[in-house]
Chain A
Amino acid sequence: MTSTELAVEAEGLVKVFGSNRAVDGVDLRVQAGTVYGVLGPNGAGKTTTISMLATLLKPDGGTGRVFGHDVVKEANIVRQLIGVTGQYASVDEKLSANENLYIFGRLLGLSGKQAKAKSAELLEAFGLTDAAKRPLAKFSGGMRRRLDLAASLIAQPPLIFLDEPTTGLDPRTRGQMWDTIRSLVATGSTVLLTTQYLDEADQLADRIAVIDTGKVVAEGTADELKASVGTSSLILRLTDRNDTGEALRIIAEVFGVQGTPSPEAGRITAPMSDPDRVTDLLLAFRGAGIRLAEFSVQKPTLDEVFLTITGHGVATDAVEDTEEVRA
């Protein structure tokens, strides 16, 4: 395996539902052994894109390749190389966790004994051993998600698709899922995940594609994306909040831009285009007798990236467009 091997290569993928171009010319290149994040709001086309790459949907245009194998012409080979954890639980509700994994294991060609052992091993790894025999109807959302991921790992596939792996999980369970994903990559897997959460992409993904209304609107590492929207911010907290007015005046004078005071804690945020001017600013503060309680530099968040690139925010969209459509 060379370091430049591509796990996923999509060129101009298109999927049309009626008059809706759900995926409209998506290009993706995912290096083997990395985590790739596809970030976008509800209805952006994330699930549809993954479904085409995972051979669940036929593309209406463009090509997709998984480790060099065409997802349409060599679908069966592609299926031998992938594990898919869909956005919606894809395990059998009527069966127990044990039975689910056993049956998937048998379908994947394991012997009865191997399938039992594999199922026990995965249930153990995902902390589901105690619940192994219970029907899934009694599982919590987090347990279901974990079982779903466990089911995708039976064949130890080199590429794993995770469609919104942490949507609906509490912060602790989400943290565990992140650890799991990291440990998958540590064993040599490639992970392509989608998410609506900017911090999740930031935390996990080596590279990120931002997609909106079926198109890739930005691509790069988290840092590159942040850099593309420009400047970092200087964040100051004053010991005495009564100095806020004077501090803002000095910032305007030294930086030539307006700082933004946040009302609650005497905090000021100011765009910092030239780090060299910070020295001048601090000296000016000392001269004016303004004391600082805290001082930090913040790179732009992906929220800002998203806003800048798409011209609309994520949060508002999520509220307006909560309708879920199964692919």
Chain B
Amino acid sequence: MTTIATNRIVPASERRLKNHTSIAQTVRNSLVMAYRGLVKFRRTPEQFFDVTLQPILFTVMFTFLFGGALAGDIQKYLPTIIPGVLAQTVITASVVTGVQLREDMDKGVFDRFRSLPIARIAPLAGALTADTLRYAIATTITFLTGIAIGWRPEGGVLGLVLAGLLIVAVAWAISWIFAFFGVIARTASSVQGISFMVLFPLTFLSNAYVNTATMPGWLRWFADVNPVSHVITAMRNIVAAQPVGADVWWTLLGAAVMVAVFAPLTVRAYMRKA
């Protein structure tokens, strides 16, 4: 190990150096970081439980638990419950983004990323991008489970794909909230703690499982404005080949607002630490 570099090192004065990172480089660096996320997934399959086993469990459990009571029969409940469970599962999966980001930032390897001439934002952007794969897996498995227990959406494959893309986009937008907690929190477990306090009201106080008309007025008001309700309604209509109306726009607007608020906050907090 005495021969390290056969070629001589280019002296500093003969190098072409620049003090800014171009957008193209930022994208390239982020994609490499996303690739790193994927390689890590492969190494740690246990991190996939929440997007593989959990959707199966929730779909089956909630359908048979609430189906009879809420819709009279299981089959009739499926078009309501599948998008609901899907939204809850995928949004829950986006919490993990923040938790893992915190864990990652505490690792020594982050010091190396910070010493490399790469876009500062790349590790953050890469982590969030890699996680869209997790959301896509959760989406596919939820749909397949639904179909396995008798769900027959009228919208066909196209409807499923469109609804899937919508929820993945929304989960990505929401993951900025948890990424923000991930960046500012001291420990990974505290990220989990804060995130679940946001997550439970957001997902359960919606039309995921029950018709909002059955709720007391104040709760109904919240459930109706809750962006999660809009994405669920939008998905229900898309997969049932119904006109989607304003819900898709409300959903996309909500997602855009979340990104507009939390992405700069997260990036700023992250840059201060990075």
- Seen from chain A, the residues whose Cβ lies within 8 Å of a Cβ on chain B are 1, 5, 7, 32, 54-56, 66-67, 69, 74-77, 79-82, 84, 86, 88-95, 99, 103-104, 106-109, 125-127, 135, 146, 151, 153, 156-159, 176, 179-180, 183-184, 187-189
CB distance from A36 to the nearest CB of B (A): 16
- Which residue from chain B places its CB closest to the CB of A149 in the assembled complex? B4
Complex Cα spacing A75 to B117, Å: 9
Q: In the complex where A84-B115, A94-B44, A107-B118 touch, is A32 in contact with B12 (Cβ < 8 A)?
A: yes
Complex Cα spacing A90 to B115, Å: 10
Complex Cα spacing A74 to B253, Å: 39
CB distance from B272 to the nearest CB of A (A): 10
Complex Cα spacing A56 to B107, Å: 14
Q: Is the CB of A84 within 8 A of B107?
A: no
Which single member of A76, A90, A92, A158 contacts B11 (CB below 8 Å)?
A158
**24 A–B contact pairs at CB < 8 A?**
A32-B12, A76-B21, A77-B18, A77-B19, A80-B17, A81-B17, A86-B111, A93-B109, A94-B44, A95-B40, A106-B32, A107-B29, A107-B113, A109-B25, A125-B1, A153-B4, A176-B1, A179-B2, A183-B3, A187-B4, A187-B5, A188-B8, A188-B9, A189-B9
Q: Is the CB of B35 within 8 A of A74?
A: no
Q: Is the CB of B4 within 8 A of A184?
A: yes
Q: In the complex where A104-B116, A189-B9 touch, is A90 in contact with B1 (Cβ < 8 A)?
A: no
Complex Cα spacing A256 to B112, Å: 58
Chain B residues contacting A109 (CB-CB under 8 Å) are 25, 28
Excluding A82-B115, A158-B10, A180-B1, 11 further A-B contacts by CB distance (< 8 Å) are A1-B13, A67-B13, A84-B115, A86-B112, A90-B111, A90-B112, A91-B109, A103-B35, A125-B4, A125-B5, A126-B1
Chain B 22-52, CB within 8 Å of chain A: the 1/0 string?
Answer: 0001001100110110011001100000000
* Residue B7 at the chain A interface, CB threshold 8 Å: yes
Chain B 41-79, CB within 8 Å of chain A: the 1/0 string?
Answer: 001100000000000000000000000000000000000
Chain A residues contacting B2 (CB-CB under 8 Å) are 179-180, 183
* Residue B108 at the chain A interface, CB threshold 8 Å: yes
Complex Cα spacing A84 to B3, Å: 20
Chain A residues contacting B36 (CB-CB under 8 Å) are 92, 95, 103
* Residue B114 at the chain A interface, CB threshold 8 Å: yes
Chain B residues contacting A1 (CB-CB under 8 Å) are 11-14
CB distance from A164 to the nearest CB of B (A): 14
- Which residue from chain A places its CB closest to the CB of B25 in the assembled complex? A109
CB distance from B120 to the nearest CB of A (A): 9
Complex Cα spacing A262 to B117, Å: 56
Q: Is the CB of B39 within 8 A of A99?
A: yes
- Chain B, 76-115, CB within 8 A of any chain A CB: 107-115
Pairs A-B, 8 closest by C-beta atoms: A67-B12, A90-B112, A79-B117, A188-B9, A90-B108, A1-B11, A84-B115, A80-B117
Complex Cα spacing A108 to B21, Å: 12
- Which residue from chain A places its CB closest to the CB of B16 in the assembled complex? A80
Q: Is the CB of B5 within 8 A of A104?
A: no
Which single member of A82, A107, A183 contacts B4 (CB below 8 Å)?
A183
Q: Is the CB of B108 within 8 A of A88?
A: yes
Chain B residues contacting A88 (CB-CB under 8 Å) are 108, 111
- Chain B, 95-147, CB within 8 A of any chain A CB: 107-118, 122
Q: In the complex where A76-B19, A92-B107, A94-B44 touch, is A146 in contact with B11 (Cβ < 8 A)?
A: no
Q: Is the CB of B39 within 8 A of A108?
A: no
Chain A residues contacting B15 (CB-CB under 8 Å) are 80-81, 158
Q: Is the CB of B43 within 8 A of A94?
A: yes
Chain A residues contacting B7 (CB-CB under 8 Å) are 156, 187
Q: Is the CB of B32 within 8 A of A107?
A: yes
CB distance from A136 to the nearest CB of B (A): 10
Chain A residues contacting B109 (CB-CB under 8 Å) are 90-93
Q: Is the CB of A56 within 8 A of B13?
A: no
Chain A residues contacting B39 (CB-CB under 8 Å) are 95, 99, 103
Chain A residues contacting B17 (CB-CB under 8 Å) are 69, 77, 80-81
Complex Cα spacing A127 to B3, Å: 11
Complex Cα spacing A221 to B131, Å: 53
CB distance from B82 to the nearest CB of A (A): 34
CB distance from B118 to the nearest CB of A (A): 5
Chain B residues contacting A5 (CB-CB under 8 Å) are 11-13
Q: Which of B9, B13, B39, B40 is the most central at the interface, judged by chain A CB atoms within 10 Å of its CB?
A: B9
Q: Is the CB of B9 within 8 A of A156?
A: yes
Q: Is the CB of B20 within 8 A of A84?
A: no
CB distance from A173 to the nearest CB of B (A): 10
CB distance from B80 to the nearest CB of A (A): 40
Complex Cα spacing A184 to B9, Å: 9
Complex Cα spacing A69 to B245, Å: 57
Chain A residues contacting B108 (CB-CB under 8 Å) are 86, 88-91
Complex Cα spacing A125 to B2, Å: 7
Complex Cα spacing A54 to B114, Å: 9
- Which residue from chain B places its CB closest to the CB of A188 in the assembled complex? B9
Q: Which of A106, A146, A176, A183 is the most central at the interface, judged by chain B CB atoms within 10 Å of its CB?
A: A106
